[in-house]
Amino acid sequence: DTGVSQDPRHKITKRGQNVTFRCDPISEHNRLYWYRQTLGQGPEFLTYFQNEAQLEKSRLLSDRFSAERPKGSFSTLEIQRTEQGDSAMYLCASSFGRDGEKLFFGSGTQLSVL
Amino acid sequence: QKEVEQNSGPLSVPEGAIASLNCTYSDRGSQSFFWYRQYSGKSPELIMFIYSNGDKEDGRFTAQLNKASQYVSLLIRDSQPSDSATYLCAVNYGNQGGKLIFGQGTELSVKP
């Protein structure tokens, strides 16, 4: 499988717990994006990386959210002290170089905070 | 004002008809425009992109861009029930790096 891979597919957690998601992009892609999507809405931008550098983080994003891409390959998104409002589908996407805007999405991680 | 706006629908068309999906955006600096299709429970899939004013055709799909009116549309000819999905318009703002800003999506239903 050469597509974008996300793990886990589903995560159920209790409010206040920390969760971490992983994304493996398409191998030759140097850009990696995190989006969040709730029912009936389009994906909302969270952050993106070019190689290992985090180039932008949404100003709407709480400090409880942090993302890393330590070696410019896979990325992790951590949410600390989860709240019920964090329940959503977390989508990872990747793209290549100058074609940067053509995003290819993974299957997503569905987070439910109880 | 939302940055990228779409009618949420649902838009219902009979099989074989032309489906017309519309999108407006607020930033005149936008340079790249995309249409994604998202089936229920699945992730978005890129189906069309357009950079220049005018029409771009790919099979049954035509993307239309009018930068002066800040308007982009997607036409689906000979609509099939398998086209039933949510269609997301996305805009790359040239001065804001590589991220895409998405509209809320238009749900399309093609009735047999």
The tokens of B22 are what? Answer: 């519309």
A8 closest CA partner among A109, A77, A105: A109
CB-based contact A101:A1 (threshold 8 Å): no
Name every chain A residue with its beta carbon within 8 A of the beta carbon of B6: 42
The conformation of residue A64, written as its DSSP 8-state character, comes to T
- Split at pLDDT 50, 70, 90, the class of A60 is confident
For B42-56, how does the pLDDT look when each residue is reduced to its tens digit (9 = 90+)? 999 999 999 999 999
Give the model's pLDDT for residue A16.
97
Q: Which residues of chain B have pLDDT under 50?
A: none
CB contact under 8 A, A45 and B99: yes
CB contact under 8 A, B100 and A108: no
